[in-house]
Each structure stands twice: as structure tokens, then as C-alpha cells.
Amino acid sequence: MKFLRNLLAAILGCLIAFGVLFFMFFVFVALLGRGDDTVKVKENSILELSLNQPIRDYEGKDATDPFAGLFEEGEGLDEILHTIAVAKNDDKIKGISMTTSFLQAGLAQTQEIRTALQDFKADGKFIYAHSDFYTQKVYYLTSVADKMYLNPQGAMDFKGLASEVLYYKDLQEKTGIKMEVIRHGKYKSAVEPYLSNTMSEANRSQIKELITSLWNSMLTDISSSRNIDVANLNIIADTLGGRTPKYAVESGLIDGNVYFDEYEGLLREKLAIEEDEKLNYVDFGDYVKVASKKTLKSGVNKIAIIYAQGEIFYGEGSKEIIGQGAINRALDKARDNDNIKAIVLRVNSPGGSALVSDIIWREIELTKKIKPVVVSFGNVAASGGYYIATGADKIFAEPTTITGSIGVFGTIPNINELAADIGVNAEQVGTNKNSIDYSLFEPMTDAFRSQVQEGIEQTYDTFLQRVADGRNMSVEAVDEIAQGRVWSGVDAKELGLVDEIGNLDDAIAAAAEMVDLDTYGIRKYPKYKSDFEKLMEDFGGAKAKVGESFIKEELGEEAFQIVKEVKQLSQQKGVQARMPFTLNIK
């Protein structure tokens, strides 16, 4: 018996050692495969921009880290904008070729990239675009190009925006699993799918107004670039005037139907080189490495950019989640660093925990007593995402930023009906009158619902007061535009919820002006561990990520998003200050 035990232990040890050696060999080969990281940019080069990775505002990659990008999937908006700005000043880069077919970015992020590309062209450089298929978002981005081309057998989507909301009331009744809902705000429709099988008029109204405002912002930009007035663009959308490559050209949406080899011929003509001469392409991902070594802003004095992106949950936080741990520590460091003169908080969040939102709000209140705090809104700054920013000295939003959603709700799962159907009965014993307040297996009592409702109302009143104090409005005025309703950045400015329409660079410039800085450097927070570092600490975390990617691939994007949404709702704890619906713009 002892022999067998020792034999099994030896076999197990060998397997573990073999696994470690195999992993190290894999890392070594991956690094070796990278070879010389030096990127050679030749004269008369074209920067290839495809943007085929998911885009977050901030990836926090360390360009000097040999493992950077080895395990992570994604591109940072900050890196993209910086790289385009560096390319603008690089005499060897004559133009940009855009070959994006599917863009994994939000609308405000897309608008910021578009603005950067517009600036790239300011000094006479060109942008050409070619695609086999233009989605609406990709078309919006690439419409900034001097010339746009579509594969003769390709397709184009230009029909206006739409949003779809799924409802689960019948599913709850059939399964016996339901969500008990307590809310404040007639537009707080994050919980509506659990209460009804149809969309309320209030929700339909706000979604219609929101996506119309976003669409109008897109059309304004497209109109300017393509020289087609907005009214005609709407006619093209209504009549599907770009549904075939031929119609897309006739309507003026694109400039021609060409295959990619023909497109490259047009690039050669633009560069005035021979037909058989090779084009000097520079991959955008490679050029990021060149750009990372060049500083556009420098100086002893600094402006800190603190990125708050993702849903808001209690805890440390990460690149995907806003937690009070990482954000408040970043605020504290920026506040205590004498070289940092002002702070820009970049917010991209649909909200989440009301408690965490208030904890971060408080830290910003402490910070702005010492240094100015300017906020830049990204794709969305709704509910808790708006809450944390409302006290800032100044707030910027993109025209397409989804803003506001001042309202709160609570959801509590209940499986009483399912338990009864499968023969499960739960009995409780307590020491005091209220020691047993709620059971997953029993119907919610009126007393407990009243208790939760009291907490919801208190949080809502606090939310209103925070906004009223921060925006110099009366509580009554805030309540009138609150009720959980969301607005576009344009509408939010008219209502006084934001100060200026502008991007992150505009917010940084405003922060510099507040402290009279002409020259300054940038320092970014928080600092997160790379996926490789987390892998070394916890193999389970890495497996979870691989598992998620596998599930996404097997289910498809839309089905995966439904599963993810239901999972997130089931994980919500406490009162929520969250965007009133999941906006899936099509």
C-alpha cells in the first residue's frame, strides 16, 4: 500500500513538473516568435488600420513588458489615439488605409477615433478605405476617409439605428424562478423585462428619443465628410439606397466598387509609384510600439488620467470592473503627488452598486478640495457611472455618450414556485421578530418589501441631492429629468447634466487651463496586473478566461450576450444605480 501511495505521488509530481516545463516552453517559443521588435518604417509608407480587437478606453499595457499582449485580447483607445497622433507628425507615413469590417467599440469611442483621423488629415495626409462589408458603425468611422471603396460583391448596412430589449415574464412563470423587483423612477426599465412581456410607452419613448439623437449625431458627421445633406442621408436609409454595391455608389455613400487588388492600385496612384512597385505597409499594431516610445506631452508638471470603466461592483476592481479599491487608491495617489496638478476622470460605465458609487463620489469630493477634477464621459455614463462624476469641477461628454439615468432599483431572486413544484419546503427558525427577513424559498413579505423600498427611496433621494449639489440645480429640477431616464450627450448638455461637448483631449486641455499649465506630461491610473501576472498567481483565473472565450465562440455573439446579461443580473447585490436597459444598437 505504501509502495502504491509513493508511486502515485511520484507520478503526480512528474505530471506537475511536466506541465510547468511545457508551459515555460510555450512562453519561450511565443517570445522567440516575436523576434526583433524593432519596427522599420520606410519612406512613403501607409499605415494599415483594421481595428479588429475589442476596444476599451484603457488597456494599461506596458510597452516594455515582454509579455504585453501575449495573453490579453483588446486595444486601448488611449493607445489608438496616441498612435494616430504620432503618425500625423511622422513624415514617412503618407496616409492611412482602413480595412475594418467589424468594429468592437462603442459609439462614443468610434466618434473619438473618427475625430483623431480627421485631425490626421489636417496637414494634407490622406485616408483611403476598403471593405468587403460596411456595418453602420464601420461606415460611420470610415466615412472620414477621402475615398471609400466596397468589394463589387460586398454589402453595406445603412438603414438607421434600432434597439432590441428581451422580456422574461413568461419564462419566469414557466420555470418558477422569478426576480422580485423594487424600483424608483418611471424610466428605470432595467427591471421591466421581469415585470412585463411588452415594452412600456415610457421606455419606448426614451429609447426612441435616445437612438434618434445618436443617429442625428452620426449623420451630421457623415454629412460633413461625404457632402450629402442630412435629409438625403435619411432618405437613403429609409429607401435602403445603399443595399447593393451599385446603389451605394449611386447614392454617394461610397466612391467605387473595386476588388482589393484594384484598391491597392488606387493607393499606388495616390503615392505616385509604379504599378509593380510594392506598397510599404506598416501594421497599426506594430506602429503602436513605435508610438509608445514617443511622448507628445511632457513636462515636470503632470495631469493624471484615471480610467473608470465597466460595471460598478464592490471590491478591488479591474480593467473590466469599477471597484472602489483601485479607483480610490488612484485618486489618493494623484492627490498626494505634488507633480500632479490636476486630475481627469475618464468614465465609461452603465452603473452598478449604489454603495460603491457613493464611496467613489466621496473620494472625488475630497480630491477636488485639493486639485481640480475634470470628467470625460466615454460611450456611457449612466446611473452609477454618472453618480461618481456628478461632483466634478467640469464634465465633458461626446455627442453620442449615453448619459444620466438618475434612478435606482433592487432585484432579488425568488424560487418559491419552483421549490413547490419540485417538492422542496424550507422551514426557518429565528431568535427575534425580524431575524428572518427574507428567504429564497418563500414569497417576499410586505414588511420586507417595504423595508427594501425604504432603502431604494433613501438612495434615490441621496442621488438627487448629489446631482443637485454638483450641478447647481434644485432637487426638484433634477427629479424632473431623472426618474431613471437616459439622454444623449447633446441632450444632457441642454439639460445641464454636463458642461461641454468634447472628448478626452478637450477635458485634459480644460484641466490644464484650470491650473495655468502650458506644458505638462500625462500620468495614467490605475495600474493593473497583466493577464500573464494573474496567470502566474492563479491558473484558475486564466482558465476562466479561456472558458468564456470558448463559450462565446460556441454560442455566438448575440446568445453569449444574453447569457452574460442574465448572469450579471443574478450577481447584483444591494441597491443598484444602473442603466435602465441594455442598449444593443443595430
Give the active site residue among 383, 405, 488, 530.
383
Question: Does 383 qualify as catalytic in the annotation?
Answer: yes
Cβ count near 29 (within 10 Å): 9
Active site residue: 61, 188, 302, 493, which one? 188
Q: Is 530 a catalytic residue?
A: no
- Grid coordinates belonging to 50: 483594421
List the one residue out of 404, 579, 390, 361 whose CA is nearest residue 495. Answer: 404
Quote the DSSP letter at residue 192. G
Distances (CA, A) of 481 to 182, 211, 580: 20, 18, 14
Q: What would the DSSP string read from start to end of 48-101?
A: EE---S-EES-----TT-TTTTTS---EEHHHHHHHHHHHHT-TTEEEEEE--S
Helix, strand, coil distribution of the chain in percent, nearest 5: 45, 20, 35
DSSP string, 146-178: SEEEEEEEEEE--S---B-----HHHHHHHT-E
Task: Give me the sign of the Cα torsion angle 483, 487, 491, 494.
Answer: positive
Render 401-423 in DSSP notation, one character per residue.
-EEE---EEEEEEE-HHHHHHTT
Residue length of the chain = 586
DSSP 3-state of 346: strand
CA distance 469 to 567: 35
SS3 annotation, 422-443: CCCCCCCCCCCCCCCCCCCCCC
Cα separation of 121 and 117, whole Å?
Answer: 7
Grid coordinates of 323: 471597484
- Cell triple for 340: 500632479
Q: In a 3-state reduction of DSSP, which class is residue 475?
A: helix
Nearest to 459 by CA among 381, 378, 365, 355: 355
CA-closest candidate to residue 143, choices 79, 227, 214: 227
End-to-end CA distance of the chain: 65
Task: Give the catalytic positions in this structure.
Answer: 188, 383
